Each structure stands twice: as structure tokens, then as C-alpha cells.
Structure 1
Amino acid sequence: MLPIGAFHDGICGIDKALETKEKWPQRFFLYAGVDPMQGKKALDELEEQYERLDGPSGLKLYPNSWVGDQMLGWKMDDPEIAFPLFEKAQSLGIKVVAIHKALPLGPVELTYYAMDDIDRAAMTFPGLQFEVVHGGMGFLDESAWQIARFDNVWINLESTATLLTTKPRSFEQALATFAARTRKAYDRILWGTGCMVTHPRPHLEKFAAFEFSEERMAGWGVPPLDRTAKKKILAENYAAMHGVDLQERLEAIKGDDIEQRRAQFTETPAPYSQTDLADYVY
């Protein structure tokens, strides 16, 4: 939940998050979201969101700040902008900080989407878990070495996972690069697709069937991506990062209204959209 100031309503907001929490408390992990460049206002807003959301699971950040038509940037290792926010998050009990990286949002300075500034943040705040959203879409080798060096840095495959459908060899290269740099890679990668942009089902189905080519495994020394590793990437790693019991969560959602709706369908509904435009496009 991170409003973007370039949009008149911020796209999302805390009221929507609260509604989600009320309806499906066990199905969603809610993150607070603030603009670090707002200084004390950001710290106060984080505290307010923490109270209203009754302890969000994490904090989501963008490396850019939008004020009207002006776009500014900040870095994760900035002791005046970033570190006070991380300290505030820790004092509130927030353990996960998610940062949009690797995928620049339009014609902006690429420097704020690089990975090197995460190093100092991870070193200074070993008690925080840093979730790199869109990891592998850019700065691939740097990202791979980062999870090899820091136990509190995680790669979220949002957008990267869609390469399974659009550019499968690129996805294979990204995942193989992570796995080739460290044997811990399968313990530090989180599944994500970005369902506001693309429907997750096609990419999920392709991942279930995905295997590395013999060339990758033999030439790169990449361990096989077996069922155990896929289960970690799809769910277990995320649960571990947040310190929650996955089985307890699965038990808690049994019989909820989403499960009841699923039971009404004898066949899977059309996955992409139910709009007339979808009939035209697809």
C-alpha cells in the first residue's frame, strides 16, 4: 500500500487496505507506505499507518518522490533520509522493508534503481529484512552477489516472473544467475508477478513446469530446480521472511468466502478479464 503522488488519488490508500484486512485478515500481508523524502512527516505518517493497520507486516518504498511534475530520488544508504525511517520502522516492530528496484518508472535517473545502496542499509540494520521488488529485471549480477553476501536481502520476482511467458530464456538466465552465485539462492527468492499489471496464472503455470536446460546446469553449475525449491520460492520463503507459520495461515483461510466462491466453479473462469475489451484483445 504505497500511494504515488503523481496520481490525484494516489491509486491506493489506507482505507482500501483496512477493508482488505477486515474481509480477509489471514490472506493478505499489508505493508505501510510513505515517501522518505518528506522527512518528519514520513515518520509521523508511518506511525499513524502502523496504528491504523494494527501492525503492518512491512514497509514498502519507492526510490523516487513525486511532487506534481517534479521527480526526485533518494538512496537506501542515505543517513539523513533513509536511516531515520528504518530506525522508526524497527522501533515500531516492522521487520521487512520492501524497495522497488531494477525497473525504472519511466524516463528517470537510473542511479536510484541500482542495487549498491542496499549494501550499507543491510549492514547497518541487520535486524531488518530487505525485500528487493523486481529483482533481476536489471542489475542482475549485482543482485545475485547481494543475496550471496547478505542474509537479510531477499529477491522478489515481481515482473521478473512474467519473463517466463514473454521471454523464457531471459527468465532462465535470471534465475540461473542467482543460483550460480550462491547455493542459498533458492532460500532467498520470493515469488511475485504483479497482478495489477498482468494476471498471475499463466506465469504460475509455466513456473510449475519450468526446468533449467542441461546447458545451464552443466555449464553454469546450477542445481536443479526441484519441487522442494519451487515450494520455497512460491510460499515458504515469504513465510520465513515474515516469521509466520505457513500451515497455520493455510488452516485459517479454510472455508472463507474466497474458498466458497471457488467451490462454485466446476471449471476455471477465464483468467484474464471479464470485460468486453478482453473479448476483443484476446
Structure 2
Amino acid sequence: MYVTKSGEKIFVIDAHVHVWDARPENRRNRYGQTFIDTFYGAHVGMTPPDQRWDQNRFNYYGAEGAAKDLFEDGYCDMAVMLPVYLKDFYINGFNTTKLCSTLKDLHPDKVVLNGRCDPREGQMGLDKLEEDFATYGFKGVKLYTAEWNGVSRGYSLKDDFVAPYIEKCRSLGITNIHIHKGPTTHPLDYDAFDVRDVDRVATMFPDLNFIVDHCGMPRIDDFCFIAGQEPNVYGGLALIPSYIHARPKYFTRMLCDLLFYVGPDRLLFGSDYAITSPKWIIEKFMDFSFDEETAREAGTQVTLDVKRKILGLNCAKLYGIEVPAEFQIKTAA
């Protein structure tokens, strides 16, 4: 929970959180190192100097470290876990559902644990999705279209083998489909992150929610026009708020476009922990506002109610999380 200087209480859900293991003993090959090194470069480049970690802690911080950073120091009331396996690079996987579950074990009421699926795995993957759902009962899954899988270096949501997985999610009652569409990370291929396949599945499955993590950046324009026409497409802001410190003008441009085309009701805050941590981002975001010209372009100022929606209320609605009345937007009598 974040409390403003005037005493207003803000319910915070970090909608993009990981618990990963990138220690040397878990790396399968050199790509296990280059992948985490790219992440660490982003951490150093975007994080204020007094908030930076050393690389050993960055490689592995564990569930207890995550709990402190998120729930004690980071103002978060809840966190949404998004697994990414990367078993081509990491022996036991990078950020598996099982590893993410260690944080939920510590704080079952604060953690939303999601699953993951890879449509290239055919019937075996469908069976595994059903098995994981029976174990964890999650409401969302993560698709990582640029993940390597044997000889495959990525896939498109337009591929014929994707729809049966979305159908399986729907039949299980999994309504939130998170799709990683953001900056490339070595050695993943840039074109495998292309956001211009999202409208296909969004149109085919209008009863499901498609959260595009990182909003397709740096392809923000493509995402904005797709989300503008598809009412079930949401913007997962992870990484975008991280620019508020090192690149504030860039952050302002991105947020302006997102608010104009998508609006404040379909944007979800995420820190992409532990690339960055929520504490300093939330503090800076709560102090943030557009200048007059930018507010006119965006169609709105970044008001306290806009911040309430982005920081927690929008995600709560997607996941059916009950938010106490004291955190809700006050309506005129």
C-alpha cells in the first residue's frame, strides 16, 4: 500500500514479477550468462545508483528477498508471478512456476501465481498445462513467443498450433493470457517479439483477456493501434515505468501515447522485478504528472484516480481480486 502526503491510500498490485535462478551452476551454456547479463545491464542503466544490486544478488535473490522487496519495502499489496522457463539456457529453468510458487508459499494471500505454456509442445504441452492447472489452479498463463525450443527460435501467434492452447485455457477457465512482446534479450531474435500477431488471437477469443507485457516496446505504435481496435487487449507496462528515472522524456512519450490510444482502464503497472524494483518506481510515478501540452495530447492528466487504476485497480478487476472500499475511486454523490 502506498500512502500519499495527503493520506490517500493506493492499492498496489505489481502485475509482472519473477523469482529466477541465473546462478552459474544453473546455466546450461553461454546463453544462460548472456541472457542474465542483458537483464543486469538494464538494471544498472535504469535504476538509481542507491537502489542498484550487485550481480550475485541479481542472479539469485530467492523468495524471502523478493517478499521483502515487494511487500515490505515496495508498497505492493499483491504481486502477479509470470513464469519463463528458458530451459534451452538454464538446466532447471530460469523462472519456473515451481520456483515462483516459493513466493506464494510464503505469502499465499498476496501472490497470484500464473502458469506458462509453449504451443510448440503439442499434445505433451496441453497435458502439462492441464496438470499444472490441477496443481496450482491459476487464472493466467504466460506465452513467450521468442523462447527457444530445440531448433525453433520462436513462433507467431498466427501459427496454427497456437489456437488449441488458447482453447484449452478457455476450457479450463484460464481467462488471462499474458504475452511477452518487448525488447529483445541476447540471444533471442528481435522479430519473434513482433506484436503484430496479437490481434489474430484477440479477435478469435473475444471472451479472454490478452495482456501484452511491455506493450510491444519499442513497437509502441503497433501495440497502440492493435489495442485501440481490440477491447480485450491490455497493456502490461512492465519496463516502461522503469524509464521514469533514466529516460523521463521517453517515459512521458510512451505513457502519453498509451493513454491516448488505450486509455487508463486497460494499463497494468509492473516493475518486471527484479530487473527493477517497485519501491523507487512507485515513488517517482506518484510524483509524476504531464505538462499542460502533453496532458492535452494524452487526453487526460495523470491524476490520482488514473494512478489508482494503473497501480492496482485494473489488475484487480482482471483477476477478480476484492479491493477494500477505502482504496476505490470515490464517486460523486
TM tier, shorter chain? 0.7 to 0.9
Offset at 1:198?
A: 1.6
Q: What residue in structure 1 maps to residue 138 of structure 2?
A: 56
* Structure 2: gaps spanning 5 or more residues: 1-82, 328-333
Per the TM alignment, residue 67 of structure 1 is displaced from its structure 2 partner at its CA by: 3.8
Aligned to 2:153, which of 72, 80, 100?
72
Aligned residue runs from structure 1 range 80-229, under 5 A: 80-135=160-215, 137-182=217-262, 185-218=263-296, 220-229=297-306
Seq. identity, %: 29
* Structure of greater relative contact order (alpha carbons < 8 Å, 6+ residues apart): 2
Is the Cα contact below 8 Å between 1:74 and 1:81 reproduced in 2?
A: no
Structure 1 counterpart of 2:94, which letter?
I
Q: Please state how far the C-alpha of 1:72 moved relative to its aligned partner.
A: 1.6
Measured in 1, the distance between the counterparts of 2:218 and 2:105 equals 37
Note if contact 2:153-2:189 (Cα within 8 Å) is conserved in structure 1.
no
Which residue in 1 is equivalent to 2:321? Answer: 244
| C-alpha displacement of 1:136 | 5.2
3-state SS, counterpart of residue 211 of structure 2 = strand
SS across alignment from 1:130: strand
> Which amino acid counterpart does residue 95 of structure 1 have in structure 2?
T
Contact residue 135 and residue 155 of structure 1 kept, 8 A: yes
Q: Match for 1:56: what amino acid?
A: F
TM-score with structure 1 length normalisation? 0.81
Cα distance in 2 for partners of 1:230, 1:2 equals 28
- Matching residue of 2:118: 35
Q: 1:160 to 1:136 in 2, by over 3 A?
A: farther
Q: Which residue is equivalent to 1:16?
A: 99
Q: Write the distance in 1 (CA, Å) between the matches of 2:294 and 2:97.
A: 44
Of 108-117 and 170-179, the range deviating more from structure 2: 108-117
- Offset, 1:127: 1.2
Confirm or deny: 8 A CA contact 2:146 2:189 kept in the other structure. Answer: no
Are residues 36 and 221 of structure 1, via their aligned partners in 2, closer, same or farther at CA, if it must alter by over 3 Å? Answer: closer
Out of 122, 125, 128, the position equivalent to 1:45 is 128
Q: Does residue 310 of structure 2 align to residue 233 of structure 1?
A: yes
Letter paired with 2:110? R
| Residue correspondences, number | 243
- The root-mean-square deviation of aligned C-alpha atoms, in Å, is 1.9
Once residues 165 and 109 of structure 2 are traced to their aligned partners in structure 1, the CA distance between those partners, rounded to angstroms, is: 27
For residue 173 of structure 1, report the CA deviation from its aligned partner. Answer: 0.2
Query: What amino acid maps onto 1:77 in structure 2?
Result: K
Report the secondary structure of 1:39's partner residue. helix
Secondary structure at 1:41's aligned position in 2?
helix
CA distance in 1, matches of 2:184, 2:298: 31
| Residues 64 and 71, structure 1, Cα contact 8 Å, conserved in 2 | no
After superposition, give the CA deviation of every residue in 1:193-233 in whole Å (9 maximum; x if it has no partner). 11121222111111001101222124x25311100000000
Offset at residue 122 of structure 1 (A): 0.3
